[in-house]
Amino acid sequence: MVARVSTQNQMPLGRSIGRTAKFVRAWGDRELAGLGSDVTEWIVLRNIAVAPEPGASQAEIAHFSDMGGPALVRHIDRLERDGLVTRTRDSADRRTIRLRMTAAGHAHFDDIRAVMERCDRELRARLDKREAEIMQRALDTLFDFCLAELNGKEAPPTTPTSRVRSKR
């Protein structure tokens, strides 16, 4: 058990976010283990599930899952071997591989999604509605800032009205 330490004025914000993310992910992995799954698989399958036709490319999945090529290919190889996804060449660009879920993949993803939605409800239950909304806006703002910085672009403005986000 990790002792809970007050972080106010003691720990850098990035460290607080990082350690929380680490433990939220470990908890998610534990909750998904009974399905033979983990958070990485949920992220990959979710990105495949929400992709518009003609399906997600491996490059898009790598970008949106923040996963390197070799690691992603290993995950996709396993998902394909397990009959959860198919790979096909893009008809317009033969260099591009498109990923789609099979019927078994959709069923497995529905089971995973139910667990992840339950985990999300449990996390949100620890906060009141206002705290959850503020946290989501704050995390979105920090994400946008860091993404812009890493891409060498100007970070979005930080005025209160610029932080208003549409529902994702």
What is the per-residue pLDDT across 12-57, written as a single tens digit (0 to 9) for each?
Answer: 999 999 999 999 999 999 999 999 999 999 999 999 999 988 888 8
Mean pLDDT across 79-92? 92
pLDDT higher than threshold 50 for residue 129: yes
Could you give the CA distance from residue 94 to residue 78 in angstroms, rounded to a whole number? Answer: 23
- The more confidently predicted of residues 103 and 64 is 103
**pLDDT above 70: residue 85:** yes
Give the span between the Cα atoms of 75 and 154, in whole angstroms: 34
Q: Is the pLDDT of residue 167 over 60?
A: no
Among 24-33, 55-64, 127-136, 154-163, the least confident range: 154-163
What average pLDDT score do residues 131-139 get?
Answer: 96
Identity at 24, one-letter amino acid code: V
> CATH 1.10.10.10 in the chain, residues?
33-126
pLDDT at 162 over 80: no
Given a cut of 90, whether residue 109 has pLDDT beyond it is: yes
Q: What is the mean pLDDT of the chain?
A: 88
Amino acid of residue 144: D
User: What is the pTM for the complete model shown?
Assistant: 0.79
Say which residue the tokens 């071997």 belong to.
81
Residues 109-130: what's their mean pLDDT? Answer: 97
Fold assignment, 33-126: Arc Repressor Mutant, subunit A (1.10.10)
Positive or negative: CA dihedral 128, 38, 87, 98: positive
